[in-house]
Amino acid sequence: MDILSPTSLDEVRDIIRNCLSDETSLSLRGAGTKSSLGNPVVADAQMQLSGMSGIITYEPEELILVARAGTELTEIEALLEAHNQMLSFEPFHPEILYGGTSSGTIGGMVGAGLSGPRRIASGGVRDYLLGFNAVSGRGDIFQSGSRVMKNVTGYDLSKLMAGSFGTLAIMDEITIKVLPAPETSVSLVVSCSDLASAQAACSQAFASAHEPTAACILPRDIAANVNLGGDAFAAIIRLEGVEVSVANRLTEMQNLLGPIGELHSLTQELSANLWRQVRDAAFFNETHEQIWKLSVAPTACVGIVNKIKTSIDASYFMDWAGGLIWLAGAGERLGADIRDVMASNGGGHATLMRASDDRRQNISVFQPQAPALMSLHTRIRRAFDPKQLLNPGRMGA
């Protein structure tokens, strides 16, 4: 297969115009870390984007960073850390789920739109992508958004790019809003007798004025594996910020959640390690045939998981106070069953995060949308890529 390795947006445009004339479809590749996420792509050639890399601008006082799409995520995270700043949405790192040693590129991060634990408190990738420039599947260079925090000029195409899996356009310069990193971080573990009380602990934490920045739920087996309490569900609440405030809020949170179950807190280091595991779904391993991610109303997770567990042998844990269910299992019916149960429990969407090509060929990796909405999505894709040249089929028609 041809591999095209442009180094500039002009070269990308020229390639796309060539591809348009001979209808050559392209699979897009940054570091290739998430190439097995999404519906399998069959394309005539591959465009390798790692040649378009480098941090262009970083202005800590302006809270912005501009990097080219092929820049390694770890390079950006290291730079921010050196300035006590961060990508607030805690982007998913793919090594554990998909293998390899790279954490992927910033372009791949935006394309996949996968956000970590802080998503529920302060937004996801979509909320921090301020602007970009790109080449559409029409072979036109265009830009959208800006480098400032507050902008409503024209349609917010950044939102469409985040999570579009390279099906709309090929980005070059990506502008991201960054935030100061919290001075300190602790986690409170609440040992709960069942899933419902663990979820209730998370909801209570977020309904309080104590400003948690993350809340996850680990079932008995996983909680035991990571030494978080004996035979109990663990609801884990993270508190971050100025030291005196965190200490104060930890006490308040202990008072609030004490009635639900036994409490203990994690040191900064254990806490950081745990949230990385939650972010990357590190509790699952190679033996799991399929790994699913369900986005649901937080309180709905209890009914959904309990229902699924009655008929399926599945392993699971939750992030986002219960609103994000990670679920691992096996079998041809698993996906359909998950989506059925979800639909009858308030709805949401389920994505098949990891499975063999074969399996992904036979089920829609992304949540099927209602027909009218599906048709709108197709029209939007065609508005950017009328000949379906870019990552054809990876995400819907």
Partner 1 sequence: MSVPAADQDILARRSEIAKGLKSIIPNHLVIDDDSSMRAFDADGLSAYRQMPLLVVLPETTEQVAAILKWCQTEQVKVVPRGAGTSLSGGATPLGDGILLGLGKFNKILEVDYDNRCVVAQPGVTNLGITHEVQDDGFYYAPDPSSQIACSIGGNVAENSGGVHCLKYGLTTNNLLGIEMVTMDGEILRIGGKHLDAGDLDVLGVMTGSEGLLGVVTEVTVRILRKPATQRAMLVGFDTVQEAGTAVSSVIAAGIIPAGMEMMDGPAINAAEDFAAAGYPRDADALLIIELDGPEVEVDALLERVEAIMKSEGATSIRVSTSEEERNQFWAGRKSAFPAVGRISPDYLCMDGTIPRKALPEMLTRMAGMSQKYGLRVANVFHAGDGNLHPLILFDANAPGEWERAEAFGADILRNCVALGGVLTGEHGVGIEKRDLMGEMFSEDDLKQQQRVKCAFDPDHLLNPGKVFPVLHRCAELGRLHVHKGQMPHPELPRF
- Residues 47-66 within binding reach of partner 1 (CB under 8 A): 59-63
Among residues 147 and 220, whose Cβ is nearest to partner 1? 147
State the DSSP string of 127-182. Answer: HHEEEEEEEETTS-EEEEE-SSS---SS--HHHHHTT-TTSSEEEEEEEEE-EEPP
- As measured in angstroms, the least distance from the Cβ of 63 to partner 1 is 6
Q: Does 384 interact with partner 1 (rule: CB under 8 A)?
A: yes
Residue 166 or residue 229: which is nearer to partner 1 going by CB?
166
Whose tokens are 């986005």? That residue is 295
Least distance from C-beta 217 to partner 1, angstroms?
14
Smaller CB distance to partner 1: residue 57 or 285?
57
Which residue in the set 156, 194, 289, 337 belongs to the binding site for partner 1 (CB under 8 A)? 156
Region near partner 1 per CB under 8 A, out of 91-99, 160-168, 189-197, 262-270: 160-168
CA distance 181 to 195: 32
Site mask for partner 1 (CB under 8 A), range 190-229, x = bound? ----------x--x--xxxxxx------------------
Q: Kindly identify the residues of this chain, within the stretch 220-279, that bind partner 1 according to CB under 8 A.
A: 241-242, 244-245, 248-249, 252
Instruction: State the CB neighbour count (10 A cutoff) for residue 320.
Output: 25
Q: Which is nearer to partner 1, 62 or 313 (CB)?
A: 62
Tell the residue number behind the tokens 């950017």, with chain if given: 384
Using the rule CB under 8 A, which residue among 154, 269, 310, 358 binds partner 1? 154
Q: What residues from 23 to 42 belong to the interface with partner 1 (CB under 8 A)?
A: none
Pairing of strands 2-4, 45-48: parallel
Q: What is the C-alpha to C-alpha distance for residues 47 and 2, in angstroms, rounded to an integer?
A: 8
Place of tokens 């739920």: 217
Closest CA to 125 of 108, 145, 137, 142: 108
Phi, psi of 365 (to 5 degrees): -60, -40
Q: Which of residues 80-139 bind partner 1 (CB under 8 A)?
A: 84-85, 113, 119-120, 123-124, 126-127, 136, 138
Determine the Cα–Cα distance for residues 89 and 79; give it in Å rounded to an integer: 16
Residue from the set 34, 118, 288, 381 that interacts with partner 1 by CB under 8 A? 381
Q: How far is the CB of 337 from partner 1 (least distance, A)?
A: 17
Contacts of 354 (CB under 8 A, 6+ apart): 36, 37, 97, 98, 288, 290, 291
3-state secondary structure (DSSP) of residue 239: strand
Closest distance to partner 1 from the beta carbon of 381 (Å): 7
Calpha distance 393→397 (Å, rounded): 6
Nearer to partner 1, 224 or 337 (CB): 337
Size of the site for partner 1 (CB under 8 A): 106
- Listed ranges 74-82, 310-318, 341-349, 353-361: which one lies at the site for partner 1 (CB under 8 A): 341-349
Identify residues 310-329 at the interface with partner 1 (CB under 8 A).
320, 323-324
**Which residue among 77, 351, 363, 388 contacts partner 1 (CB under 8 A)?**
351
> In 3D, which of 286, 363, 295 has the Cα closest to residue 332?
363
Instruction: Calculate the CA dihedral of residues 224, 202, 268, 285 and round it to 10 degrees.
Output: 40
Q: Name which of residues 172 to 191 contact partner 1 (CB under 8 A).
A: 179-181, 183
- Residue with Cβ nearer partner 1 (163 or 219): 163
Q: At closest approach, how far in Å is the CB of 99 from partner 1?
A: 25
Residue appearing with tokens 């790692």: 50
What DSSP string describes 33-44? Answer: TTTTSSSPP--S
